[in-house]
Structure 1
Amino acid sequence: MTVMAERATQRSPVSLEGFERLADFAAKDSDNTVKLEFIGGRIGVKRAPDGDHTTIVTWLMRQCMQHRPELDLYAEQGLRVEAYRRGRARPDATLVPEAHFAGDGEWADTEGVLMTVEVTSFDADADRRDRKEKPSAYAAAGIPVYLLIDREVGTLIVHSSTDAEAGRYQDIHIVKFGDRLHLPTPVDVEFGTEKLRDFVR
Structure 2
Amino acid sequence: MAGHTPQMSVEEFETIAHAAPKTVTLESLGGRVGVKKGMDGDRSTIVSWLVRRCMQSRPELDLYYGRGLRVDAYGQSRARPDAVLAPEAHFAGHGEWSDPDGALMVVEVTSYDPDTDRWDRHEKPGVYGQAGIPLYFLIDRDSRTLKVHTHPDRQVGGYRDVRVARFGETVALPEPVGIELDTEILKTYVR
TM range (shorter): over 0.9
- Show the 5 A alignment for 1:13-52: 13-26=7-20, 30=21, 32-52=22-42
1:95 to 81, 85, 88: 85
- Show the 5 A alignment for 1:118-129: 118-129=108-119
2:57 to 52, 55, 67: 67
Confirm or deny: 8 A CA contact 1:33 1:47 kept in the other structure.
Answer: no
Structure 1 equivalent of residue 181 of structure 2: 191
Give the distance between the partners of 1:168 and 1:152, measured in 2 at CA: 21
Confirm or deny: 8 A CA contact 1:11 1:43 kept in the other structure.
Answer: no
Structure 2 equivalent of residue 156 of structure 1: 146
Give the distance between the partners of 1:12 and 1:111, measured in 2 at CA: 25
Shift of 1:47: 2.4
Give the distance between the partners of 2:17 and 2:58, measured in 1 at CA: 33
Shift of 1:181: 0.6
Look up the equivalent residue of 2:11 and give its one-letter code. Answer: E
Q: How many percent identity over aligned positions?
A: 56
Give the distance between the partners of 2:125 and 2:83, measured in 1 at CA: 14
Give the distance between the partners of 2:126 and 2:190, measured in 1 at CA: 26
Structure 2 portions without partners, runs of 5+: none
Paired positions, count: 188
Confirm or deny: 8 A CA contact 1:139 1:162 kept in the other structure.
Answer: yes
Confirm or deny: 8 A CA contact 2:37 2:113 kept in the other structure.
Answer: no
Structure 1 portions without partners, runs of 5+: 1-9
Give the distance between the partners of 1:48 and 1:168, measured in 2 at CA: 25
Give the distance between the partners of 1:47 and 1:176, measured in 2 at CA: 24
Structure 2 equivalent of residue 58 of structure 1: 48
Q: Calculate the aligned-residue CA RMSD, in Å.
A: 1.2
Structure 1 equivalent of residue 162 of structure 2: 172
SS in 1 for 2:54: helix
Give the distance between the partners of 2:111 and 2:158, measured in 1 at CA: 22
Look up the equivalent residue of 2:69 and give its one-letter code. Answer: L
Shift of 1:80: 0.3
